[in-house]
Each structure stands twice: as structure tokens, then as C-alpha cells.
Amino acid sequence: MKKLELGELVVKTPTEYSQLTLKFIGDRHFYESMQDKVRQIDLQNIAFQPMNGQYFKKVIAFLIQNHDRLKSESSKKAIRIS
């Protein structure tokens, strides 16, 4: 989201998620400005940047290496690959 210049939509806690949801519901200007920003994003360009292939390879390698551990975890937290 930050790479898409939508960093204000990144939340880290359930409380922040609830607050953001309420902001979308209650602040028409915020809602419309986010819609405008999303419409202006060139997803084709971002999705197919040369570096994204490298990240995909890292993710696949991580999943293969950690498959057994991940399979046994009950957590559904996002996996961060750096």
C-alpha cells in the first residue's frame, strides 16, 4: 500500500482497522479522495515491474523452506518477506 502511495490505509491493529473503517463510513471527502487515488494508480506498471519477479522467487523459496512449520501454525498473520 505504501508503494502505491496509499500508506494512510495501512493499519497494524484491530483498533486501527476499526478506526479506518469508521473514517471511510463517516468522512465522505476521505472516501472520495481514496477512490480518486486508487483510480489513478497504474496497476499494470506496478504489478509487472522487473523487481516483482525477484520478490516472487523469494516468497516461493520461503514457503518451500518453511512449509512444515507454516502448515502446523494456526496463525493467519501476514508473512513479511524482505
Distance CA 24, CA 21 (A): 5
| Residue 67 C-beta-side C-alpha neighbours within 13 Å | 4
**What residue numbers bound the domain in which 79 lies?**
50-82
pTM above 0.85, yes or no: no
Q: Can you give the pLDDT at residue 61? A: 84
Q: If pLDDT is split at 50, 70 and 90, which confidence band does 80 have? A: confident
Judge if 35 and 5 occupy the same domain: yes
Mark whether 39 and 61 lie in a shared domain: no
Q: What is the pLDDT of residue 48?
A: 64
Angle at 48 between CA 12 and CA 37, to 5 degrees: 50
Average pLDDT estimate for 20-38: 92
Residue 27 near residue 35, CB atoms below 8 Å: no
42 and 8: one domain? yes
Select the more confidently predicted residue: 51 or 7. 7
Q: What is the arithmetic mean of pLDDT over 29-45?
A: 85
Q: Clarify whether residues 39 and 59 are in a common domain.
A: no
Tell me the C-alpha distance between 13 and 77, whole Å: 12
